[in-house]
């Protein structure tokens, strides 16, 4: 086209071939964008930094002492250890107890930080990551609150409720898969509430939600909340594409899990292998139901009391705010998020201990959102129901209402917030103080027992342990393959993995030691009649070292199958309790 | 498997994933946000028309449809336009129909006879260009069903956007006539409703073959259409893009030009081969390298090679999954081989949403069987596209020398001898 005259082209509003323009990106550089962003969000960033600092300090302070260890913490750390060191999903046969993405993230963390070593306690390493997860959840909760139209102060209230309740502080410190999954679900909610209502945010929300569900399957109960939010916040014209984006991405990512089982030939039950099908039906139907949450004496009721003993306020206030949440359009998804798991818990069935974790962000946002709704009728861009009603009542009334009512409302909201702060401070400070180190040290008896075993027990001996000490003992040279054995693996009637029972036909008689801990004792108490080999081992053993006192005592016991100590490796003198 | 093979395999999988994802992302451009959807939608032209139009209708052995099309065009509610039917000197039947139409509407319709040989559409259009009296040249195919209100809308789009080019919407309508027609219709829907707007926004646009309008002075200044390109419409769009032309899209479900899918699978296959080869020619011609920004050049490179990437991705995904499963690859690798299937299945989900939207736009009720056909048709249709892409590459490779020559002399100059060597059959409609 060299014959074209450049002057002709310019007369037509065109440019000669080969001209170069600047990309929009060259003009609006990253630095310029960041400066603009900073200008718009300075106040929120400062507030978030302060909130994050509070959350980080309260969660990290004393995390190595309290609360007492849960068996699951050790299980997940052992599985993360297996991922990192052996490339397998579990130290024993992975039997699809949970989707593995939760401890894959744990393993990523321990791999990046090089945290597994003889110098650290594995469970504490995991708890360090939980502090990070709590900070992440808090930041996301703040963002979600803002996107739901809460004023900055009330979004901050939500974060403080969420992070400072002793119930939350206690459970958020534990290495539970729920704590890993909740930030992902919150991220899904934040994206579902995208102010631009963009398709990619909906698809991203689906990915985040799927990661959350693959971290902990019970988070699937948050699906109605995410979908409600997405539906309410999306535009009528693009809604079908946004919902399609969410459903397609979340379903496709979640599908990786059954696909994995299928590729391993473990999707459906068959002879000689575990299966996803069996595991799911075990979790849904096989586990002993915990009874009605309302019937005194049932396991579910005891579980509820455990939660409420730590703090009845956050959950209680959340339930009080529930009707408001349903009435106020912008809070409706949060109300769904709290109501659905509550209904599921009321329905009966097995009620896991960490179940409560996923309820807390919804409860916190409902309470803070209710205060915000008291402050002023909602006027967010998307769900402006109240102003519409005000408009119908007549412009003059609306204007007058706009001029006078908010002052009274603001006073009321501030008064309510102040009263809440006063009540909660009085109730929460003792609980939080106990958790940050003023209370008894629930963890160190276990460390004492570990140290004693490391110093006195030959590495070829076999030990029955709870999961919380497993990685530490393995890191100190005990054989991960049948050298240290999770206590419930001995009872082949209670789990779906026959590998241990098959490898050790003699059962507990082939073991030399049992570390009797609160974890084992409470498992025995909860499952009367089960775990017979563990009961036998304890019955046929003598204490050689003891740590702690009262219900928290941890004993190293030498097993004597024929009765009477025959231990060639018995120490000269048992150590006294520290 | 060796680490090298594993790495190559992983790279291949990731490439397929990226291609499928990018294609999906661009397919969904219009639905990114409600604002984008509104902006790409339809604005009513309320003001009085001010431009004049010359509408070119090339026809070859299309005596069956030509007369009706010319009559419809004459029925436009725009005050100032002429219709120029272009017929071949060897095609008496079409010529008679066209001249009859000219006799019916002597003030609107003229007939131009094209004496070029061998014949193709760009040559026909170039022949008629000197005869155009309007401010704007529009191109239609002989079988097009054009809405009489379209011209006013285009008139408005030119002035509202200070545009050099306006692309109107085209939609295949007979989505229930065969197993592939549904997918063919949806392709058009996503292209004109969504993807084209992305191109207009980035000011790089491969124009369509009809319902496309260009200012006459601009068309003359750039020397008209490339007579040797199989995708002369796309080529013109690319060439105008390099000159910084402003392109507006006038899409409204009410005003689209209605067409039918190719009658047989074979003709669909041939049509797709021609398009693919045309895109490849435009890619090799390299005008797009003159685009002013890096982003545009990237978009151009990707778009022009898209038929191939898309087709190979469709087949590659199946191949990688099947090989991973049957070669008993490690579970992690087998799992990874499904990665490219994720955007592919997501595309299917969005096609379902798209079919719903399509049916709403055109006031049809979607049936369960339509959705079923959409889902079941995915893989076979992908196979047809892949086969057409392969055929296009082979044909282009065989005709390579001839093409190299025409590229040097400047494609707008018509050279019958070179064309005879370069031009495969099946060019004209």
Q: Do B31 and A199 touch (CB under 8 A)?
A: yes
Q: What percent of chain A has pLDDT over 90?
A: 59
Computed over every residue of chain B, the mean pLDDT equals 85
pLDDT tens digits, residue range A521-576? 998 988 888 888 899 999 999 999 999 888 889 999 999 877 544 444 444 344 44
Q: Pick the residue from chain A with its C-alpha nearest to B357.
A: A240
Query: B410–A238: do the CB atoms touch at under 8 Å?
Result: no
Which of the residues B331, B343, B359 would you substitute to probe the A interface, choosing the one with the greatest number of A C-beta atoms within 10 Å?
Answer: B331
Q: Is B103 exposed, middle or buried (0-12, 13-18, 19+ CB in 10 A)?
A: exposed
| Between residues B399 and A326, the one the model is more confident about | A326
Tell me if B221 and A14 make a contact (CB, 8 A cut-off).
yes
Residue identified by tokens 């306020």 is A313
Candidate from B28, B217, B243 with C-beta closest to A199:
B28
Of A565 and A287, more confident: A287
Q: What is the mean pLDDT of chain A?
A: 87
CB of B28 within 8 Å of any CB in chain A? yes
Q: What is the DSSP letter of B301?
A: H
Would you list which residues of chain A are within 8 Å, Cβ to Cβ, of chain B? 1-5, 8-9, 12-23, 25, 196-200, 203, 235, 237-238, 240-241, 244-245, 247-249, 252-253, 256, 259-260, 263-264
CB contact under 8 A, B218 and A3: no
Spatial separation of the C-alpha atoms in residues A84 and B373, rounded to whole Å: 46
Contact in structure between A183 and A136 (CB atoms under 8 Å): yes
- CA-to-CA distance for A341 and B403, rounded, in angstroms? 68
Confidence of residue A294 (pLDDT cuts 50, 70, 90): confident
Residue A124 host element (H or E): helix A122-147
Nearest to B33 among A16, A25, A197 (CB): A197
Q: At a CB cut-off of 8 Å and minimum separation 6, what does A333 contact?
A: A189, A192, A225, A226, A228, A229, A232
Confidence (pLDDT) at A288: 77
> Between chains, do A21 and B349 touch, taking CB under 8 Å as contact?
no
Edge to edge, the sheet with strand A513-516 lists A484-486, A463-465, A513-516, A554-559, A541-547
Helix then strand then coil, in percent of chain A rounded to 5, is 65, 5, 30
pLDDT, position A270? 84
pLDDT 10s digits, A379-438: 544 444 444 444 444 443 433 444 445 788 888 999 999 999 999 999 999 888 888 876
- Confidence at residue A1, expressed as pLDDT on a 0 to 100 scale: 43
Q: How many cross-chain Cβ pairs, A to B, lie less than 8 Å apart?
A: 107
- Confidence at residue A384, expressed as pLDDT on a 0 to 100 scale: 40
> Does any CB of chain A come closer than 8 Å to the CB of residue B31?
yes
pLDDT at B308: 73
- In this prediction, residues A444-452 reach a mean pLDDT of 92
Question: What is the structure's pLDDT at A563?
Answer: 53
Q: Rounded to 5 degrees, what angle do the CA atoms B198, B199, B201 make?
A: 65
- B39 contacts on A by Cβ (under 8 Å): none
DSSP conformation letters of B313-365 = HHHHHHHHHHHHHHTT--HHHHHHTTTTHHHHHHHHHHHHHHHHHHHHHTT-P
Task: Give B-chain residues touching A1 at CB under 8 angstroms.
Answer: 222-223, 239, 287, 410, 412
Count Cβ atoms below 10 Å from residue A282 Cβ, excluding itself: 16
* Residue A490 pLDDT exceeds 50: yes
Tokens 């801990």 correspond to what residue?
A517
Q: In whole angstroms, how far apart are CA A113 and each of A106, A150, A211, B105?
A: 11, 37, 22, 83
Rounded to a whole number of angstroms, the distance between the first and last alpha carbons of chain B is 51
Is A14 in contact with B218 (Cβ distance < 8 A)? yes
Q: Are A550 and A442 in contact (CB under 8 A)?
A: no
Among A493, A463, A476, which residue's Cα sits nearest to residue A554? A463
Nearest to B334 among A199, A237, A263 (CB): A263
Beta-bridged to residue B87, according to DSSP, are B59, B113
Give how far B406 is from chain A: nearest CA, Å.
13
Hunting for tokens 């109730």 — which residue is that? A427
d(CA A338, CA B69): 63
Task: Please give the Cα distance from B368 to B289 (Å, whole number).
Answer: 46
Please report residues of B whose CB lies closer than 8 A to that of A12: 164, 215, 217-218, 221
pLDDT of residue B317: 72
DSSP A273: B
pLDDT band at A23 (very low <50, low <70, confident <90, very high): low
C-beta atoms of A9 and B243 within 8 A:
yes
Asked if pLDDT for residue A165 goes beyond 60, the answer is yes
For residue A95, what pLDDT band results from cuts at 50, 70 and 90?
confident
Cβ-proximal residues to B150 (8 Å cutoff; 6+ apart), any chain: B76, B168, B211, B250, B255, B257
What pLDDT score was predicted for residue B80? 95
What's the rounded mean pLDDT across residues A226-250? Answer: 96
Q: Select the residue from A248, A250, A265 to test the B interface by mutation, using most B Cβ atoms within 10 A.
A: A248
Quick check: A515 pLDDT over 60? yes
Mean pLDDT in order along chain B per 10 residues (429 residues): 77 86 92 90 80 95 92 94 95 94 95 90 94 96 92 92 93 90 94 92 89 95 90 92 90 89 90 88 89 89 82 72 75 83 92 94 89 92 87 79 31 33 36
**CA distances in angstroms from A170 to A119, A136, A227, A432, B186, listed in the order given:** 25, 17, 30, 9, 54
User: Is A488 a residue whose pLDDT tops 90?
Assistant: no
Per-residue burial over A424-443, b if 16 or more Cβ lie within 10 Å, else e, is: beeebeebbebbbeeeeebb
Supply the pLDDT for residue A356: 95
Is residue A135 within 8 A of residue A141, CB to CB? The reply is no
The 10 Å CB-count burial string (b at 16+, else e) for B242-281 is bbbbbbbbbbbbebbbbbebbeeeeebbbbbbbbbbbbbb
Give the predicted TM-score (pTM) of the model: 0.88
């Amino acid at each position: 086209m060299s014959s074209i005259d450049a002057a002709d082209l310019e007369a037509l509003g065109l440019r000669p071939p080969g001209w170069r323009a600047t990309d929009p990106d060259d003009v609006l550089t990253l630095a310029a964008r960041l400066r603009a962003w900073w200008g718009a969000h300075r106040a929120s960033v400062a507030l978030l930094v302060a909130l994050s600092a509070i959350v980080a300090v309260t969660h990290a302070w004393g995390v190595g002492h309290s609360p007492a260890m849960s068996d699951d913490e050790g299980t997940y750390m052992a599985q993360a250890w297996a991922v990192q060191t052996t490339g397998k999903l579990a130290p024993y046969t992975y039997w699809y107890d949970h989707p593995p993405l939760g401890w894959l993230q744990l393993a990523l963390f321990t791999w990046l930080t090089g945290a597994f070593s003889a110098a650290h306690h594995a469970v504490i390493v995991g708890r360090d990551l939980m502090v990070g997860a709590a900070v992440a959840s808090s930041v996301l909760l703040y963002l979600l609150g803002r996107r739901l139209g809460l004023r900055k102060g009330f979004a901050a209230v939500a974060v403080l409720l969420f992070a400072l309740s002793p119930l939350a502080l206690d459970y958020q410190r534990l290495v539970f898969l729920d704590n890993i999954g909740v930030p992902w679900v919150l991220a899904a909610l934040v994206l579902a509430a995208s102010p631009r209502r963009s398709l990619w945010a909906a698809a991203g929300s689906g990915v985040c939600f799927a990661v959350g569900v693959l971290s902990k399957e019970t988070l699937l109960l948050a699906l109605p909340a995410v979908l409600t939010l997405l539906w309410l916040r999306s535009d009528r014209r693009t809604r079908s594409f946004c919902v399609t984006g969410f459903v397609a991405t979340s379903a496709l990512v979640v599908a990786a899990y059954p696909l994995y089982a299928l590729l391993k030939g473990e999707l459906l039950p068959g002879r000689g292998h575990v299966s996803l099908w069996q595991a799911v039906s075990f979790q849904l139907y096989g586990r002993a139901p915990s009874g009605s949450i309302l019937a005194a004496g049932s396991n579910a009721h005891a579980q509820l009391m455990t939660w409420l003993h730590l703090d009845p306020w956050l959950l209680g206030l959340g339930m009080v705010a529930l009707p408001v949440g349903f009435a106020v359009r912008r809070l409706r998804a949060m109300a769904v998020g709290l109501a659905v798991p509550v209904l599921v818990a009321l329905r009966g069935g097995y009620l896991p201990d960490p179940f409560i974790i996923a309820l807390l962000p919804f409860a916190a946002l409902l309470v803070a959102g209710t205060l915000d709704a008291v402050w002023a009728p909602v006027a967010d861009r998307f769900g402006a129901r109240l102003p519409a009603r005000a408009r119908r009542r007549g412009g003059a009334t609306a204007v007058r209402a706009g001029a006078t009512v908010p002052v009274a409302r603001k006073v009321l909201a501030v008064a309510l917030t102040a009263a809440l702060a006063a009540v909660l401070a009085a109730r929460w400070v003792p609980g939080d103080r106990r958790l940050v180190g003023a209370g008894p040290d629930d963890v160190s008896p276990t460390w004492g027992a570990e140290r004693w075993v490391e110093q006195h027990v030959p590495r070829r001996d076999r030990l029955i342990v709870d999961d919380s000490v497993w990685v530490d003992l393995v890191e100190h040279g005990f054989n991960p393959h049948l050298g240290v054995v999770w206590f419930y693996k001995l009872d082949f009637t209670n789990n779906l993995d026959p590998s241990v029972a098959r490898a050790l036909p003699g059962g507990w008689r082939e073991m030399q030691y049992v570390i009797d801990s609160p974890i084992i004792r409470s498992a025995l108490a909860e499952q009367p009649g089960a775990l017979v080999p563990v009961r036998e081992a304890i019955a046929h053993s003598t204490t050689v070292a003891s740590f702690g006192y009262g219900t928290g005592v941890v004993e190293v016991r030498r097993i004597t199958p024929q009765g009477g100590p025959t231990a060639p490796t018995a120490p000269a003198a048992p150590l006294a309790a520290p | 498997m060796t680490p090298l093979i594993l790495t190559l395999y992983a790279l291949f999988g990731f490439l397929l994933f990226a291609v499928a994802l990018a294609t999906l992302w661009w397919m969904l451009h219009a639905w990114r946000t409600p604002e984008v959807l509104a902006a790409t939608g339809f604005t009513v032209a309320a003001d009085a028309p001010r431009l004049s139009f010359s509408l070119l209708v090339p026809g070859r052995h299309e005596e069956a449809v030509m007369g009706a099309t010319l009559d419809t065009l004459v029925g436009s509610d725009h005050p100032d336009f002429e219709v120029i039917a272009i017929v071949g000197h060897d095609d008496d039947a079409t010529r008679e129909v066209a001249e009859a139409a000219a006799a019916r509407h002597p003030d609107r319709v003229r007939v131009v006879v094209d004496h070029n040989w061998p014949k193709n559409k760009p040559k026909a259009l170039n022949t008629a260009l000197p005869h155009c009296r309007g401010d704007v040249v529009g191109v239609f195919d002989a079988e097009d069903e054009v809405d009489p209100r379209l011209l006013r809308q285009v008139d408005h789009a030119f002035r509202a956007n200070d545009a050099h080019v306006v692309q109107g919407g085209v939609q295949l309508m007979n989505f229930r006539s065969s197993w592939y027609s549904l997918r063919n219709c949806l392709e058009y829907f996503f292209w004109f409703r969504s993807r084209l707007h992305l191109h207009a926004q980035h000011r790089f646009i491969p124009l369509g073959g009809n319902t496309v309008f260009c200012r006459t002075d601009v068309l003359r200044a750039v020397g008209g259409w490339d007579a040797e390109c199989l995708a002369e419409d796309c080529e013109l769009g690319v060439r105008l893009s390099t000159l910084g032309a402003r392109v507006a899209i006038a899409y409204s479900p009410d005003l689209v030009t209605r067409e039918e899918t190719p009658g047989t699978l074979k003709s669909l296959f041939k049509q797709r081969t021609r398009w693919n080869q045309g895109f490849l020619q435009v890619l090799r011609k390299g005008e797009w390298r003159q685009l002013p920004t890096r982003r545009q050049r990237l978009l151009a490179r990707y778009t022009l090679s898209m038929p191939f990437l898309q087709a190979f991705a469709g087949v590659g995904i199946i191949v990688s999954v099947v090989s991973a499963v049957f070669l008993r690859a490690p579970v992690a690798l087998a799992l990874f081989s499904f990665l490219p299937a994720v955007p592919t299945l997501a595309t299917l989900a969005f096609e379902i949403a798209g079919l719903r939207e399509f049916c709403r736009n055109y006031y049809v009720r979607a049936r369960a069987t339509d959705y079923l056909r959409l889902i079941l048709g995915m893989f076979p249709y992908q196979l047809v596209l892949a086969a057409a892409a392969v055929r296009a590459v082979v044909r282009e490779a065989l005709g390579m020398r001839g093409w190299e020559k025409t590229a040097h002399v400047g494609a707008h100059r018509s050279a019958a001898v070179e064309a005879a060597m370069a031009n495969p059959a099946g060019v004209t409609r």
